[in-house]
């Protein structure tokens, strides 16, 4: 294959289509396991999909076990600019391990990144799930333009902001992100109340919000518990994520006194 360039434009030298791949990102792991399972030899402890995935584990996304990765003799390691540390990527490359870094700060970027990963880095055709996900997310926004807030941590509170994959998911659903100035800002709870969201989406990752832990912080505001995977994963889960999120959030908005906000 020779030299190919990842999403950051970095040259990656490949002798041929990689046959032993280690993934440092849950979304990429699921995509590989569904599409080319015979090539995936290692993944992080956080890679939970598909269920029953039986590959070597190489610790976490922020603290990968580089020695364990090298011991797997991978032809390629796949990573992500946001989820993995540049230092780990640099050290793997310095040890002679090819690393392909993806950039996925929007739905379109994620779809393009997956297309490039499979066709340019792995030398496969376009996966069927990727073709379907591209079709699904090209449809008109299904929800009214309600102001949405997505906390991802509490004590201290942290929320999804602008220039993020999740923020773009909200926009593609028709929602308006209540926070745009920063990517993942910390906010006091009173400051979140001042944003006057129409709906609060409480995911189960990275912080595991539950019916008893989260909704009580936003009295009088409709809240909906959602799978964090639907908001943050950009592999095969993209196929069903749009409909599931639209159904869950739409049901909550429909129950709001006066009805959901108009566009």
pLDDT, tens digit (0-9, with 9 covering 90-100), for 205-248: 999 999 999 999 999 999 999 999 999 999 999 999 999 999 99
- Decide: 221 and 200 in contact? Cβ < 8 Å: yes
Give CA separation, 73 vs 1, 66, 255, in Å: 18, 11, 54
Cα-Cα end-to-end distance for the chain = 49
Q: Are 100 and 93 in contact (CB under 8 A)?
A: no
**What pLDDT does 263 receive?**
42
Q: Any idea which residue has 């690393």 for tokens?
A: 99
Q: What is the pLDDT of residue 258?
A: 66
What's the pLDDT at 78?
98
The token pair at 37 is: 């399972």
pTM of the model: 0.94
Which structure tokens are listed for 33? 């396991």
* CA diameter of the chain: 62
Token couple for 123? 């030398």
Q: Note the helical H segments in the chain.
A: 26-35, 66-71, 86-94, 107-116, 128-136, 165-173, 189-194, 228-232, 238-254
Looking at residue 71, its pLDDT comes to: 97
CA distance 20 to 2: 17
Q: Walk me through the domains of the chain, giving residue ranges and CATH numbers.
A: 2-136 (3.40.50.1980), 147-254 (3.40.50.1980)
The reported pLDDT for the residue numbered 257 is 75
* Under-70 pLDDT residues of the chain: 258-263
């Amino acid at each position: 294959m020779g030299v190919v360039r990842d999403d950051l434009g970095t040259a990656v030298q490949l002798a041929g289509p990689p046959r032993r791949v280690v993934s440092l990102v849950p979304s990429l792991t699921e995509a590989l396991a569904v599409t080319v399972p015979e090539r995936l030899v290692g993944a992080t402890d956080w890679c939970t999909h598909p269920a029953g995935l039986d590959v070597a584990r190489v610790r976490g996304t922020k603290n990968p076990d580089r020695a364990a990765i090298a011991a797997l003799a991978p032809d390629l390691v796949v990573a992500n600019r946001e989820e993995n540390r540049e230092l780990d990527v640099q050290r793997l490359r310095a040890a002679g391990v090819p690393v392909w870094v993806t950039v996925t700060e929007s739905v379109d970027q994620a779809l393009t990144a997956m297309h490039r990963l499979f066709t340019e880095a792995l030398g496969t055709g376009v996966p069927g799930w990727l073709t379907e996900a591209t079709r699904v997310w090209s449809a008109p926004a299904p929800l009214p333009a309600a102001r949405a807030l997505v906390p991802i941590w509490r004590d201290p509170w942290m929320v999804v902001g602008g220039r993020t994959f999740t923020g773009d998911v909200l926009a593609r659903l028709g929602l308006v992100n209540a926070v745009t100035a920063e990517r993942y800002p910390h906010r006091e709870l009173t400051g979140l109340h001042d944003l006057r969201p129409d709906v609060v989406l409480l995911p189960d990752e990275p912080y595991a919000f539950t019916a008893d832990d989260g909704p009580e912080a936003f009295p009088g505001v409709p809240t909906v518990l959602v799978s964090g995977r639907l908001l943050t994963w950009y592999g095969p889960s993209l196929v069903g994520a749009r409909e599931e999120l639209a159904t869950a959030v739409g049901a909550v908005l429909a129950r709001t006194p006066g009805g959901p906000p108009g566009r």
